[in-house]
């Protein structure tokens, strides 16, 4: 959307994000000039192979990157306020309140010595000033919302007493307890088996309608993207190489990297019935993020590479309405000026 139309400002507006890590053998440019936005209530998926900077992006938004060795630059505007300029205290007030996050591995994010009710209640007491009893009642309500049976009993249990799927539901309950405006879900189903994955996804879809939070969904699973996301951002080597509305990305991917990832794509709308819907394998490796790449970051693996690609980095430019890609050879549709 162009801002000149008077459309509302996006909920989250990430501008030229650079998250670099100092390592003994050079600077790792994990995220290198990434810009994207998320509108209120919208679900945006971020896809790309392992090591492309997806988790670092989500951790950067919440300022959970250890500094040092990390260093974040750019702007992360949330409701117009640059999160990178907030004090630690202001940032804590946003985390787990306006913005919350679901991590890939629930066991490492849940505290093993606190009951489920205590953990959900903690955020409520902290951010909403509820009493112990009120927090427990609300925790039970949240467990019900995420489909945990016998919530009155579960609320008193410890994480190890729950199955992996239930723990992930508890994580979601925690993340939603404060009615966040933005939920960042980093591969929320990767550690779970396929049946449970499908259940968690149904849950997320359902919650999206009921809670109305915007979601940034990071996943390897294109079936999930097809089902849940409205817009997709494709990341490669710390950069955005393509962005499009979900249907358009699946039907007309412009970047050779996206085309590679979509190699064995399920049809849009095919439900998660256990069939393999993961990203396709692309021959070759993601380039080291520690060496500066002059040309296109995908040149080393691209089936269509030319000398131009090796020498000059293609700019991210519109190829169709609301569809951008960074490739010298991606076809450009005729667009009204
Ligand atoms: N704490 C850290 N110190 C140094 N490098 C890191 C750190 N965290 C992540 N990285 C590097 O950042 C790059 C992107 O990682 P990540 O965002 O986890 O990828 P993805 O989530 O897309 O699989 C990788 O090269 C990874 O090694
Ligand atoms: Mg990751």
Name the nearest CA neighbour of 299 among 237, 251, 235, 206: 237
Name the nearest CA neighbour of 207 among 151, 233, 169, 245: 169
53 pocket-lining for ligand 1 (C-beta < 6 Å) = yes
Q: Whose CA is nearest to atom 27 of ligand 1?
A: 51
Between residues 94 and 108, the one the model is more confident about: 94
Separation of alpha carbons 175 and 101, rounded Å? 6
pLDDT tens by residue, 103-137: 876 556 788 899 999 988 887 887 788 888 888 99
Supply the Cα-derived Rg of the chain in whole angstroms.
20
Ligand nearest to the CA of 103: 2
Ligand nearest to the CA of 186: 2
For residues 96 and 123, is the Cβ–Cβ distance under 8 A?
yes
288 pocket-lining for ligand 1 (C-beta < 6 Å) = no
> Which phi-psi region, left, alpha or beta, contains residue 238 (left: φ > 0; alpha: ψ -120 to 50)?
left
The encoded tokens of residue 50 equal 């392992």
Q: How far is CA 43 from CA 15, 75, 78, in A?
A: 18, 21, 16
Ligand nearest to the CA of 59: 1
Helix ranges restricted to H, 186-286: 194-211, 222-228, 246-251, 256-261
Phi, psi of 181 (to 5 degrees): -85, -25
Give the pairing of strands 12-23 and 26-38. antiparallel
Separation of alpha carbons 264 and 260, rounded Å? 9
Q: Whose CA is nearest to atom 24 of ligand 1?
A: 51
Q: How far is the CA of 134 from the centre of ligand 1 (A)?
A: 40
For residues 30 and 56, is the Cβ–Cβ distance under 8 A?
yes
For residues 248 and 322, is the Cβ–Cβ distance under 8 A?
yes
Separation of alpha carbons 71 and 58, rounded Å? 14
24 pocket-lining for ligand 1 (C-beta < 6 Å) = no
Q: How far is the CA of 54 from the centre of ligand 2 (A)?
A: 5
**Residues in a beta bridge with 278:** 221
Which pairs with CB-CB distance under 8 Å and at least 24 residues apart come from 136-145? 138/177, 139/173, 139/177, 142/173, 142/174, 142/176, 142/177, 143/116, 143/169, 143/170, 143/173, 145/173, 145/176, 145/207, 145/210
Residue at token pair 């979900």 = 246
Q: What pLDDT, on the 0 to 100 scale, is given for residue 283?
A: 84
Q: What pLDDT, on the 0 to 100 scale, is given for residue 266?
A: 46
Q: What pLDDT, on the 0 to 100 scale, is given for residue 125?
A: 83
Instruction: For the chain, give the mean pLDDT.
Output: 87
Name the nearest CA neighbour of 299 among 287, 291, 290: 287
pLDDT class of 272 with cuts at 50, 70, 90: very low
Determine the straight-line distance between the first and last CA of the chain, rounded to whole angstroms: 14
Q: How far is the CA of 291 from the centre of ligand 1 (A)?
A: 15
Residue at token pair 């679900």 = 43
pLDDT tens by residue, 6-40: 467 899 999 999 999 999 999 999 999 999 999 99
Between residues 48 and 291, the one the model is more confident about: 48
Mean predicted confidence (pLDDT) in 255-275: 66
Q: How far is the CA of 117 from the centre of ligand 1 (A)?
A: 32
* Sign of CA pseudo-dihedral 172, 173, 174, 179: positive
Separation of alpha carbons 83 and 63, rounded Å? 8
Q: How far is the CA of 194 from the centre of ligand 1 (A)?
A: 26
| pTM recorded for the entire structure | 0.89
Q: Whose CA is nearest to atom 9 of ligand 1?
A: 56
């Amino acid at each position: 959307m162009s801002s000149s139309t008077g459309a509302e400002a996006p909920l989250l507006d990430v501008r030229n994000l650079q998250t670099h890590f100092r390592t003994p053998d050079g600077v790792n440019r994990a995220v290198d000039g990434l810009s994207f936005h998320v509108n209120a209530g919208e679900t945006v998926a971020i896809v790309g192979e392992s090591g492309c900077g997806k988790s670092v992006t989500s951790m950067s938004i919440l300022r959970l990157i250890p500094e040092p060795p990390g260093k974040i630059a750019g702007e992360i505007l949330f409701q117009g306020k640059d999160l990178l300029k907030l004090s630690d205290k202001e940032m804590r007030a946003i985390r787990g309140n306006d913005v919350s996050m679901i991590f890939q591995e629930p066991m490492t994010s849940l505290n093993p010595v606190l009951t489920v009710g205590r953990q959900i209640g903690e955020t409520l007491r902290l951010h909403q000033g509820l009493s112990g009893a009120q927090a427990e009642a609300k925790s039970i309500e949240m467990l019900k919302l995420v489909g945990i049976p016998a919530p009155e009993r579960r609320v008193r249990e410890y994480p190890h007493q729950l199955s992996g799927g239930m723990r992930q539901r508890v994580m979601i309950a925690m993340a939603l307890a404060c009615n966040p405006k933005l939920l960042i879900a980093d591969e929320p189903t990767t550690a779970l088996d396929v049946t449970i994955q499908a259940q968690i996804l149904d849950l997320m879809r359902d919650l999206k309608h009921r809670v109305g939070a915007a979601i940034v969904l990071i996943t390897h699973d294109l079936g999930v993207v097809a089902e849940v996301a409205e817009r997709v951002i494709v990341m490669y080597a710390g950069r955005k190489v393509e962005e499009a509305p979900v249907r358009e990305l699946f039907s007309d991917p412009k970047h050779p990297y996206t085309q590679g990832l979509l190699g064995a794509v399920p049809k849009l709308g095919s439900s998660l019935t256990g069939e393999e819907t993961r990203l396709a394998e692309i021959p070759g490796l993601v380039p080291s993020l520690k060496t500066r790449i002059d040309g296109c970051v995908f040149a080393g693996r691209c089936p269509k590479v030319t000398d131009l690609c090796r020498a000059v980095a293609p700019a991210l430019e519109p190829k169709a309405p609301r569809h951008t890609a960074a490739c010298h050879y991606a076809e450009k549709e005729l667009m009204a000026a």
